[in-house]
């Protein structure tokens, strides 16, 4: 984004140095050249502030001790509809992933050629959907509006949004802002300039799940500050781990590389959430921790498909969960950033099934 702002006063166009204080609170980007211009334009400008969404929103957990500035902002929008012609995973109706529970073993499946083709297709679709969600991010949009955009993009691709009703998760994407580590529920929260926003998208298409996430900086991505460094470091941690993916690598060794890079940059690694196997099941073996000295089982073999998704924290590595039983936040309220890919182990290395496209937004 350009850092020189232009005054939005009628027929003005001068360089702007002043931000409307009400817009600032609402997360809307509105700049004026000076006080006089701001006053002259007040009558027409103030309509920008009447955000009907915002007026009726409330914190459903008023007695909860939030760890940072972010609070839940309810009511949630009503459950989005998935048309009947779209194939659903087994938990879509009652929230319980029966097939995942039955498969609960540490044995890692190697997929056959047909299954790999299915994974390629769904992962490519998931990438398209993430990019659509990312392009919609701007100050002033709510996380629920992002959910709607992502939900519709899944439906247009004949895909079920995997998070929807998985263990009763109420929405179609996870939106995790600032101190939220993962599993944030889209609600009436308004995205503001300077926020770090993670979108975690998973699609279910033709019997297979494809999963990826990225963290987006709302504003200047070249700004030299700790938040920007955190996001770049999280991405580098994922990239370094991907370089190790090939037949014969121990799953437990990925955490060594990730944690050493995070530490070198002054950050920590979340221990409570891990990468996972993924195929016709949303989550299965292997379990892929991102911290050093873990004892996870398994050796990479051609045909294994799994995610790596390091969550890197500005402060302490400890997490806690909101009373919604989903939103995982840092215990010290400092920020967290994450990137995720779904990967296929090939004969010589790996294929990033959710790879970025030439025009993918973000870093």
Residue positions in the annotated binding site for Zn(2+)? 200, 211, 276, 309, 340
Q: Which region among 44-52, 73-81, 100-108, 305-313 touches Zn ion (by CB under 5 A)?
A: 305-313
Whole-angstrom distance, CA of residue 13 vs CA of residue 92: 52
Task: Please report, as residue ranges, which positions from 155 to 174 form the binding site for Zn ion (by CB under 5 A).
Answer: none
Taking the least distance from each CB to Zn ion, the nearer of 26 and 173 is 173
Q: Considering the complex, state which of residue 287 and residue 307 has its C-beta at the smaller distance from Zn ion.
A: 307
CB of 159 to Zn ion, least distance (A): 14
Residue 67 interacts with Zn ion (CB under 5 A)?
Answer: no
Closest CA to 234 of 206, 259, 201: 259
List binding-site positions.
Answer: 183, 200, 211, 276, 283, 309, 340
Q: Which is nearer to Zn ion, 307 or 336 (CB)?
A: 307
The stretch among 77-85, 125-133, 208-216, 258-266 that binds Zn ion (CB under 5 A) is 208-216
Binding-residue pattern over the window 75 to 94 for Zn ion, x denoting contact by CB under 5 A: --------------------
* Cβ-based neighbours of 219, under 8 Å, separated by 6 or more: 1, 193, 194
List the one residue out of 142, 140, 208, 195 whose CA is nearest residue 173. Answer: 142
Instruction: Give the whole-angstrom CA distance, residue 319 versus residue 316.
Output: 8
Does position 307 interact with Zn ion (CB under 5 A)? The reply is yes
Nearer to Zn ion, 26 or 137 (CB): 137
179 sits near Zn ion (criterion: CB under 5 A): no
Q: What is the largest CA-CA distance in the chain?
A: 69
Q: Is 211 in the site for Zn ion (CB under 5 A)?
A: yes
Of 27-35, 95-103, 112-120, 197-205, the window that binds Zn ion (rule: CB under 5 A) is: 197-205
Contact 51, 26 (CB under 8 A): yes
What is the size of the binding site for Zn ion (CB under 5 A)?
5
Complex with Zn ion: residue 145 or 340, whichever CB lies closer: 340
Binding residues for a protein, by number, are 183, 283
Tokens of 293: 């000295």
Is 200 near Zn ion (CB under 5 A)? yes
144 vs 200, beta carbon nearer Zn ion: 200
CA 272 distance to own-chain centroid = 17
7 and 32 Cβ atoms separated by less than 8 Å:
yes
Q: How far is the CB of 221 from Zn ion (least distance, A)?
A: 22
Smallest CA-to-CA distance from 44 within 14, 8, 13 is with 8
Q: What are the DSSP E strand ranges found in the chain?
A: 5-6, 15-16, 18-19, 31-32, 160-161, 174-177, 180-182, 196-205, 208-217, 268-269, 275-277, 284-288, 305-308, 311-313, 319-321, 328-330, 336-338, 341-345, 350-352
Of 29, 109, 213, 330, the residue at the interface with Zn ion (CB under 5 A) is 213
Six token digits for residue 319: 């997490």
Name the site residues for Zn ion (rule: CB under 5 A): 200, 211, 213, 307, 340
């Amino acid at each position: 984004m350009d850092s020189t702002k232009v005054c939005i006063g009628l027929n003005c166009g001068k360089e702007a140095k002043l931000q409307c204080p009400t817009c600032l609170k609402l997360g809307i980007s509105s700049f004026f050249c000076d006080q006089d211009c701001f006053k002259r334009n007040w009558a027409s400008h103030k309509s920008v502030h009447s955000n009907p969404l915002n007026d009726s929103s409330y914190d459903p957990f008023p007695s909860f001790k939030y760890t940072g500035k972010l609070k839940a902002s309810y009511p949630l929008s009503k459950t989005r509809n998935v048309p009947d012609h779209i194939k659903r995973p087994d938990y879509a109706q009652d929230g319980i992933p029966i097939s995942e529970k039955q498969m609960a073993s540490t044995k890692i499946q190697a997929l056959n050629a047909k299954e790999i083709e299915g994974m390629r297709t769904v992962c490519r679709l998931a990438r398209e959907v993430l990019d659509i969600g990312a392009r919609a991010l701007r100050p002033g949009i709510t996380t629920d509006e992002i959910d709607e955009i992502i939900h519709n993009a899944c439906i247009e691709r004949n895909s079920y949004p995997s998070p929807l009703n998985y263990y009763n998760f109420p929405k179609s994407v996870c939106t995790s802002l600032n101190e939220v580590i993962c599993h944030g529920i889209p609600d009436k929260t308004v995205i503001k300039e300077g926020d770090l926003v993670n979108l975690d998208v998973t699609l279910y298409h033709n019997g297979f799940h494809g999963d990826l996430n990225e963290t987006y900086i709302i504003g200047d991505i070249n700004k030299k500050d700790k938040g920007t460094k955190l996001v770049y470091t999280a991405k580098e941690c994922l990239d370094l781990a991907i370089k190790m993916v090939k037949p014969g690598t121990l799953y437990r060794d990925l955490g060594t590389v990730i944690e050493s890079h995070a530490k070198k940059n002054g950050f920590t690694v979340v221990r409570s959430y891990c990468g996972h196997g993924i195929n016709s099941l949303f989550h299965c073996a292997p379990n892929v921790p991102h911290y050093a000295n873990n004892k996870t089982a398994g050796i990479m073999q051609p045909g294994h498909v799994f995610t790596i998704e390091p969550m890197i924290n500005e402060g302490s590595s400890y997490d806690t969960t909101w009373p919604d039983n989903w939103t995982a936040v840092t215990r010290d309220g400092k920020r967290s950033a994450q990137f995720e890919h779904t990967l296929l182990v090939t004969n010589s290395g790996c294929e990033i099934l959710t790879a970025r496209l030439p025009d993918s937004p973000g870093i």
